[in-house]
Structure 1
Amino acid sequence: MIDHVQLAIRYGRIYSLMHRVLDRRMVAEGASLARTKMLHYIANNAPVRAADVAEWFDLAPRTVTQAIDTMERDALVIRVPDLVDRRAKRLDITDKGRQVLRQTEPLRRELIEQAFSLLTEEDFGDFARILDRLELALETRVETGPGAGSIGGRTGA
């Protein structure tokens, strides 16, 4: 019998291990994984509200504000006026921020390649389908709140 809890623990452990290895390698290069992830989000969604960043990463607004203040001080992001709400500010990435992303991208890609190159094409396809099913289950059953069903059931995907 498959133990779902143990499988979930292993999945989390692998994710955490990849995260720790990448963070250590970035720190050795003078970068930060947390900062890089936030810069990626801002770059891909700019101009973005700080509240959107906090929601995406499930962080307290104060934590995000402190991180953004530091990135702004380091000239990685800039606060720009919100075109809809004149009182509000949005975040955009600077050229220096883009340069930081370009410098850290090879480390990220190398780690991903090392981890996933062990999979055959068939393994990779199976894994992608499994992730699709897990994502669908989480989005439709967990995100919709109480009474939406349990994660343990099967999906039609």
Structure 2
Amino acid sequence: MRNILRREYPVGEQWILGIFQTYREVNQAFFQLLSKAASKHKLTALQLIVLRVLREHPEIRLTELAEKLNLGNSTTSGIVDRMVKASLVERERTKQDRRAMTLTLTDKGMELWRETDATRLNLLRPLLDLPEDDQRELERIQQDVLRILRQSREEA
């Protein structure tokens, strides 16, 4: 891969593509660990993410949940349907609009979130083996990269 990049792209662009590839690999590794943590509790990775979002945003509407998951409403609705059947999530009609529904975690869903979150954090704990200075530097660089990419996105 590196040889192909050297021939096709100038040095600066090679570096950008290398960073992009590294972020993709890190993202894939995180998702694989998330999937592993979820499967230990008989969940999918997306269901685990739904638990987290509902924990952070109680009484969220389906459309808002779909936006946070970057999924369509019908896909999100299918995930929620299965979680309602498993007694992890409740749908409630809003008082302002009887047609609208909000989603909340049940007690069972909240307990499962706590268990899966502990499993997930345990799987990620080896990251703490990085020296503290490297942890701080990585966080600083990531925040800079995010700031630059967000600015680029807004300008595009």
TM-score range, shorter chain: 0.7 to 0.9
**How far apart are residue 103 of structure 1 and its match?**
1.6
Is the Cα–Cα contact under 8 Å of residues 22 and 107 in structure 1 kept in the other structure? no
Structure number with larger C-alpha Rg: 2
Alpha-carbon separation, structure 2, partners of 1:68 and 1:29: 17
Aligned equivalent of 1:120, options 116, 120, 131: 131
Alpha-carbon separation, structure 2, partners of 1:90 and 1:37: 17
**Residue 22, structure 1, aligned to residue 34, structure 2:** yes
Q: Quick one: which amino acid aligns to residue 30 of structure 2?
A: M
Output one character per residue of 1:61-97: Cα deviation in whole Å (capped at 9) or x when no partner.
1100000111111111111122332220110110010
Of 100-109 and 55-64, the range deviating more from structure 2: 100-109
What do you get for the CA RMSD once the two structures are aligned? 1.6
**How far apart are residue 110 of structure 1 and its match?**
1.1
Alpha-carbon separation, structure 2, partners of 1:109 and 1:136: 26
Scaled by the length of structure 1, what TM-score is found? 0.83
**How far apart are residue 25 of structure 1 and its match?**
4.2
Greater helix share, structure number? 2
Alpha-carbon separation, structure 2, partners of 1:13 and 1:83: 45
Q: Give unpaired runs (5+ residues) of structure 2.
A: 1-10
Alpha-carbon separation, structure 2, partners of 1:66 and 1:31: 14
Alpha-carbon separation, structure 2, partners of 1:34 and 1:13: 19
Is the Cα–Cα contact under 8 Å of residues 31 and 104 in structure 1 kept in the other structure? no
Counterpart residue number, 1:52? 64
Output one character per residue of 1:117-147: Cα deviation in whole Å (capped at 9) or x when no partner.
23111111111111211222233331x2xxx
Q: Secondary structure at the match of 1:117?
A: helix
Q: Quick one: which amino acid aligns to residue 130 of structure 1?
A: I
**How far apart are residue 29 of structure 1 and its match?**
4.0
Q: Quick one: which amino acid aligns to residue 140 of structure 2?
A: R
Aligned residues: 144
Q: Quick one: which amino acid aligns to residue 50 of structure 1?
A: L
Alpha-carbon separation, structure 2, partners of 1:139 and 1:46: 27
Counterpart residue number, 2:96? 84
- Higher RCO (Cα < 8 Å, 6 or more apart): 2
Counterpart residue number, 1:152? none
Q: Quick one: which amino acid aligns to residue 141 of structure 1?
A: S
Scaled by the length of structure 2, what TM-score is found? 0.84
Alpha-carbon separation, structure 1, partners of 2:140 and 2:27: 18
Is the Cα–Cα contact under 8 Å of residues 81 and 88 in structure 1 kept in the other structure? yes
